[in-house]
């Protein structure tokens, strides 16, 4: 079985974007704020948006199940206040839930949180409860920078975030550490902000003792971990200078990386440097990088090809990356799959 841990609803019906545009426009005139009930998207529209896109690619490329969350760049937590984010998150999460009900063999949800700059993370707890208890979601996406590229929140190791971590531990769910749109002109959203955030999140964890307080907390750092595997010696050296334990003891019990790297040398480096037990298959399909690589003739985000072409990985390694590690990092997913006999 091949489990893709990084899927976003990037092909949602256009009505969703139109409703969001109305919501944003109404921030200056609350009397024009649209109600959630005004967004009407039929099951047939959802089916069409999935069957012709994500599901078609999954069948073509040979993956079985996608952990599916709202579109990352659409989270845009920097827009409006908490009420704006709360309504938007609830709408997006419900759509992902509906997709998982329509295609239960292929999609299972991960929640967008209703974060807002400067707002206590406790305000996210109700949406986590809804998504896990009512929708059966198996993870959350946690934005370490809801200000959109200005990094106004405390680091992930700060007690500011502890209410979310406590809820994660209670439900035994991981968080993918995933920023949203950059509104800082210095940082391109997908080419700089995403990768900077991946690296920053790792370094925030390296310099602190977060996992002493939460030994079972699990983070997935996407996009291959940003710069982390490429500069592994630098991070090992910094940990040593800071009198931290070896990285394999200090962080790798709690932090995992996905395979959204998009070229063979990158996957080879990732799987050579980072222990295979800490790597999860992912594609971020129909996401940030959608084109065809002229050097290979295949889509950049067809990550299964890189895993298959690796001369480093054994069959046992591939099984861990494709399935075994995901079942361990996402216990609720594993329990659901076992319930279904998969």
For residues 74-92, one letter each, b for 16 or more C-beta atoms within 10 angstroms of the residue's C-beta and e for the rest, the string is: bbbbbbbebebbbbbbbbb
Query: How deeply is 52 buried, as exposed, middle or buried, from its count of CB atoms within 10 A (0-12, 13-18, 19+)?
Result: exposed
Contact (CB, 8 A) for 310 and 268? yes
The DSSP bridge partners found for residue 257 are 221, 279
* Cβ-based neighbour number of residue 297 at 10 Å: 7
Angstrom CA distances, 216 to 219, 299, 331, stand at: 10, 36, 12
Residues, the chain: 342
Of the candidates 127, 153, 284, 323, the residue annotated as catalytic is 284
Coil, helix or strand at residue 208: coil
d(CA 90, CA 76): 14
The answer to whether 284 is a known catalytic residue is yes
Neighbours of 58 (CB within 10 A): 22
Catalytic residues: 284
């Amino acid at each position: 079985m091949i489990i893709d841990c990084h899927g976003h609803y990037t092909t949602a019906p256009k009505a969703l974007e139109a409703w969001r545009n109305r919501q944003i426009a109404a921030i200056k005139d609350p009397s024009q704020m649209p109600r959630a009930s005004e967004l009407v998207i039929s099951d047939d529209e959802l089916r069409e948006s999935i069957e012709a896109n994500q599901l078609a690619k999954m069948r073509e490329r040979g993956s079985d199940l996608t952990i599916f969350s709202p579109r990352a760049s659409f989270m845009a937590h920097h827009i409006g206040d908490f009420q704006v984010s709360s309504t938007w998150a609830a709408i997006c999460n419900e759509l992902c839930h509906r997709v998982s009900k329509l295609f239960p063999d292929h999609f299972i949800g991960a929640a967008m949180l209703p974060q807002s700059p400067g707002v206590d993370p406790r305000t996210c707890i109700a949406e986590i409860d809804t998504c896990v208890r009512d929708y059966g979601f198996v993870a959350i996406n946690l934005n370490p920078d809801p200000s959109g590229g200005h990094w106004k929140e405390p680091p992930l190791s700060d007690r500011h975030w502890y209410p979310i971590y406590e809820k994660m531990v209670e439900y035994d769910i991981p968080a993918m550490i995933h920023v949203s749109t950059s509104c800082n002109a210095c940082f391109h959203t997908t080419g700089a902000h995403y990768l900077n955030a991946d690296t920053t999140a790792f370094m925030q964890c390296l310099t602190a003792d977060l996992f002493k307080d939460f030994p079972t907390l699990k983070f997935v750092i996407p996009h291959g971990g940003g710069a982390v595997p490429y500069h592994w010696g630098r991070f090992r050296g910094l940990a040593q200078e800071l009198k931290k334990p070896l990285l394999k003891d200090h962080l790798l019990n709690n932090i995992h990386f996905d395979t959204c790297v998009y070229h063979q040398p990158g996957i080879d480096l990732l799987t050579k440097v980072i222990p295979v037990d800490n790597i999860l298959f992912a594609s971020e399909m129909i996401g940030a990088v959608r084109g065809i690589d002229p050097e290979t003739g295949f889509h950049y985000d067809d990550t299964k090809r890189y895993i298959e072409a690796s001369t480093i990985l054994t069959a046992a390694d591939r099984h861990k990356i494709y399935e075994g590690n995901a079942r361990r990092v996402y216990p609720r997913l594993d329990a659901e799959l076992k319930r279904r006999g998969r």
